[in-house]
Every structure is written in structure tokens, then in C-alpha cells.
Structure 1
Amino acid sequence: MSMGGCIILVAVGAILAFATDWHMKGVDLDVVGWILMIVGLIGVFVFRSVGRRRGVVPPARTTVIEDERDRRL
């Protein structure tokens, strides 16, 4: 799951916890919403910490040195 997936989990969880009034027998949607929000936030923090450790590595560059003696006209 990526960072976007974690943010979607938080959004869906917030919708279930705060914006719905559905009632299902045997399932508390408020609790399901809170669980989704907590899992999404844990995922966001994990991805942020892994991204800091990994860092950005610039691409390797190849330097070409042209020798004037090798040119034949």
C-alpha cells in the first residue's frame, strides 16, 4: 500500500465514523471507521519514516573526455 492508499483509509474511516448513520446488525460502523483511521495514520507515519531513511540518490553520470589526438579529419 502506498501513501495514497493510507490517506484513502483515513478518509473512508472518517466518513464511516462521522458522516454515516447506517446501522448493521453485528457491526459497529463507528468502530470500523476509527480502526481504518488509525491503520491509515500508522501507514502514513511508517511511509514518512522510511522515506527519510532512504533518501534521494542522484542518477549516475558518465563523463566523456574527448581527446584531440584521436580526431581524424
Structure 2
Amino acid sequence: MGIGINIFLIAVGAILTFAVDTTVAGLDINVVGIILMAAGAVGLLLTLLVFAPRRRRTVTETHASRSVDPAASSRTVTTDDAPGTPNL
């Protein structure tokens, strides 16, 4: 589940818990709202802790100029934007 779905679950749970004032036979709407909010919060924490570190972006730039010795004038820069990894 993504971040958006988890926030949606939290929002629907909060609406059911705090805004809806109806009764359904055999079902407590407040408990359903609390369960949805808890499921959304747990899903959001799992999404941020487990899946966020896997998302990384690597950018490789190569600059070369025209000269007699191309090996001496070319330069490659690689940047890794992963958290906790120093940029080189």
C-alpha cells in the first residue's frame, strides 16, 4: 500500500469515529473507524520505514571536451541520493 491509501484510511476512520452519529444493528461505527485509523497508521509507518529507503535516484553525468588527449579532459560524476550515503 502506498502513502496515499494509508492517509485515505486514516481520514475515513476519523470521519467514521468523530463525524458519523448513526447506529447500525450489530456494528459499532466508532470501532470500525478506530480500526481503520490504526490500520492506516501501521501501513503508513511500514511504508515509510520499509519501502522509503529502497527508493533512490542515481544521476551520472559525463563531461568531455575536445582536445588532443580525450582521456585527460573527460570527467564522470556520479551522485547517489540515498539517505545515509555521502555524496561523492
* Structure 1 residue 54 displacement after superposition: 1.4
Normalised to the residue count of structure 1, the TM-score between the two structures is 0.76
Structure 2: 5+ residue stretches without partners: 69-88
Q: Which has the higher helix share?
A: 1
Per the alignment, residue 27 of structure 1 pairs with: 27
Note the residue ranges of structure 1 that are not aligned, 5 or more in a row: none
Query: What is the deviation of 1:39?
Result: 0.2
1:1-73 equivalences in 2 (<5 Å): 1-50=1-50, 51=52, 53-60=53-60, 63=62
Mapped partners of 2:33, 2:65: distance in 1: 64
* Higher share of residues assigned strand: 2
* C-alpha deviation, 1:66, in angstroms: 7.6
Identity level (%): 39
Amino acid at match of 2:37: M
TM-score, normalised with respect to structure 2:
0.64
User: Which position in structure 1 is the counterpart of 2:86?
Assistant: none
The Cα RMSD (Å) is 1.7
Counterpart of 1:28 in structure 2: which amino acid? D
Structure 1 distance, partners of 2:29, 2:23, is: 7
Aligned-pair distance for 1:64? 7.6
